Amino acid sequence: MSNAVFRGLPFRGFLARGAVSPRHAEFLRALRLRQTRVIVVQLAVLVGFLTLWQLAAHWRLIDPFITSQPAAIAGKLVELTEDGSLGYHVAVTVYETLVGFGLGTLLGIALAGALWWWDFLSDVADPYIVVLNATPKMALGPIFIVWLGATMVAVIALAVSISLFVTILSVYSAFRQADREKLVVVASFGASKWQQFSKVVFPSAVPTIIATLKVNIGLSLIGAIVGEFLAANAGLGYLIIYGQNIFNMSLVMTSLVILTVIAGVMYYAVTALERRFVPWRRD
């Protein structure tokens, strides 16, 4: 109805869709024009970078043997897709990352819960967790390989170890920061310790847990790739090392591009989770 009234008026148009008045239309148009500009410039930067890279390689300003070039990467991408190895290596890396991420996060939250439940345990464990968190987990790689063999299990163990301790520390601190007076509120209704945890402590930590997930997905990917560098015969990390060994920079660069895409997709998947599980947050 309102559309019929406004049809043909100056503030109709794609950029002003949904407007309720001429002033609102102007506001929406400016807002959307800006959003569009941002996306256009983002694409321009990408295209410009790829073009410069390609031209520089073409005119021999840079040596494509060392830097590769977009056309070769695209060709490699098609080649890997056609022989089916791309899907395989991506699947291996994603599997290792997700299992490492899932285990590291769940175990981390469970241990943080245990520390909250038994404060004597947390006092005892505190220095050990801090030291283990500060230890560069990559250094554990060789140990895992000796213990678990040059297998996917060793790679997953590395991915878990890298996200576990930081999860324990940040989630435990979020548990402890739960509002004391909210605990008084539930205590006044006679809440048990488990009810204190499930009604107050855990829900108040959900935003922190989601933030931890965002960090952990990246950390687990690092763990999986480094694990594959050290000991694997499959996965994108393996592909990168293999490419380096046979001095095929196009293979290395192609793997890198795919890795970037995977990292991006996984990050946005976690962000989507946040919208689903933290609806009480105002934007």
Partner 1 sequence: MSGRERIRGEGLSYTYLTRSGETLALKDLDLTVRDGEFCSIVGPSGCGKSTLLALISGLLRPTEGRLLLDGARINGTNRRVGILLQKDHLFEWRTVLKNAELGLEILGKGSAEARRHAHHLLATYGLGGFENSYPYQLSGGMRQRVALVRTLATDPDILLLDEPFSALDYQTKLILERDVHRIIRDNHKTALLVTHDIEEAVSMSDRVIVLSGRPAQVKNVYDIALTVAEPRTPMTSRDAPEFRAYCKSIWEDLEIEQRGL
Sites of contact with partner 1 (CB under 8 A): 179, 181-182, 184-191, 195, 199-200, 203-204, 206, 278-280, 282
CB closer to partner 1 out of 205 and 270: 205
Tokens of 79: 């080649």
Instruction: Determine the Cα–Cα distance for residues 69 and 236; give it in Å rounded to an integer.
Output: 19
Nearest-approach distance from CB 184 to partner 1, in angstroms = 6
Cα(132)–Cα(162) distance, integer angstroms: 10
The minimum distance between CB 277 and partner 1, in angstroms, equals 9
Query: What's the CA gap between 93 and 89, in Å, rounded?
Result: 6
Neighbour tally for 258: CB within 10 Å: 19
Rounded distance between C-alpha atoms, residue 22 and residue 128, angstroms = 64
77 versus 187: smaller Cβ distance to partner 1: 187
Q: Output 153 or 211, the one with its CB closest to partner 1.
A: 211
Task: Kindly tell me which of 114 and 191 has the beta carbon lying closer to partner 1.
Answer: 191
Is the Cβ of residue 120 or residue 189 nearer to partner 1 in the bound state? 189
Q: How many CB atoms lie within 10 A of CB 242?
A: 17
Q: How far is the CB of 187 from partner 1 (least distance, A)?
A: 6
CA distance 108 to 272: 22
Tokens of 270: 């976690």
Pick the closer one to partner 1 by CB: 187 or 241. Answer: 187
> What is the nearest approach in angstroms of partner 1 to the Cβ of residue 42?
32
Residue 233 amino acid letter: N
CB of 6 to partner 1, least distance (A): 30
Smallest Cα–Cα separation from 200: which of 212, 187, 213? 187
Q: To the nearest whole angstrom, how small is the minimum distance from the Cβ of residue 145 to partner 1?
A: 43
CB of 276 to partner 1, least distance (A): 13
Q: Which is nearer to partner 1, 63 or 119 (CB)?
A: 119
The answer to whether 197 and 116 have CB atoms below 8 angstroms apart is yes
Q: Are the C-beta atoms of residues 161 and 148 closer than 8 Å to each other?
A: no
Q: 193 near 117, Cβ under 8 Å?
A: yes
